[in-house]
Amino acid sequence: MNLAALWDLPICFFIENNGFAVSTTVEEQTRVSSRGLAFGIPSFRVDGMDPVAVRVATEKALKIMRSGQGPTVIEATLYRFYHHGGGTPASAFGYRSKEDEAAWLKRDPLTVMLAGLKDRRWLDEDEDATMATRARKAMQAAANALTVEEGNKRTVIESLWPDPAVRDAGLRGDLTELEVKRFEEQETPSGQMSEMRYVDAVAEVMNHRMADDARIFCIGEDIHRLKGGTNGATKGLAAKYPD
């Protein structure tokens, strides 16, 4: 942002602010969501659920950029209907209510825009159905090109996964930075090996370190929800070390 403002670059920083970072609200982690004004960049906050409002804000931003006045920021406040990844409602994880989801769903810009187009008779039911069918076919084609069905689930086609043999390709380090550290290679372990999820190892190491050293603490998104973050990297730590 700073360089764009210094050099008067015609860049629009378009921020889709859905109010959450996984399960952590914006209000819990920052006082200001849009920082454009700190760099002297003209900034607009707009209702991101309203396509017309977004278009008007974009037109204003374009006028500024095309007249050589540098960058702009558009912060569109909107709603993320589902959890951070996948099609599961956030209410299933306990950090949103079903009532909140239902209220926002009534403002879904796709359905609101379609209703407006139909009210103005710019779109009829048959045209709407045709577009929906084309969209479903396009998504199905994309899914078929990347995945295969296994029971009631889909998995990535085996040939599309990278070869594990290339795990060290492109590494420039020679590990001299570890000469004064204790470390192990999987191929030559000095102790007993056991299978463990990587994220469980992360949580276990942090647990050991926090138990040994009171100066160590965790700060970040989701450590207080979802039973230890999105994948459990801080599992049990918030309860064990509440301070």
pLDDT at 135: 96
Return mean pLDDT, the chain.
91
Average pLDDT over residues 102-130: 94
φ/ψ bin of 130: left (φ > 0), alpha (ψ from -120 to 50), beta (otherwise): alpha
Per domain, the residue ranges of the chain are 2-142
Q: For residues 9 and 4, give the distance between their C-alpha atoms in angstroms, rounded to a whole number.
A: 5
Nearest to 53 by CA among 74, 67, 38, 68: 74
What's residue 215's pLDDT? Answer: 93
Which pLDDT belongs to residue 157?
95
pTM higher than 0.85 for the full model? no
Q: What is the pLDDT of residues 32-79, one digit of tens each?
A: 767 889 999 999 999 999 999 999 999 999 999 999 999 999 999 999
Distance CA 241, CA 238 (A): 5
Catalytically active residues are 80, 84, 95
Residue 220 has a pLDDT of 80
Nearest-angstrom CA–CA distance, 206 and 86: 28
Q: Report the alpha-carbon distance of residue 80 to residue 20 in Å, rounded.
A: 8
Two tokens at 222? 């989701």
Q: CATH number for the 2-142 domain, one of 3.40.50.970, 1.10.10.60, 3.40.50.1820, 3.40.50.1370?
A: 3.40.50.970
Higher pLDDT, 33 or 164: 164
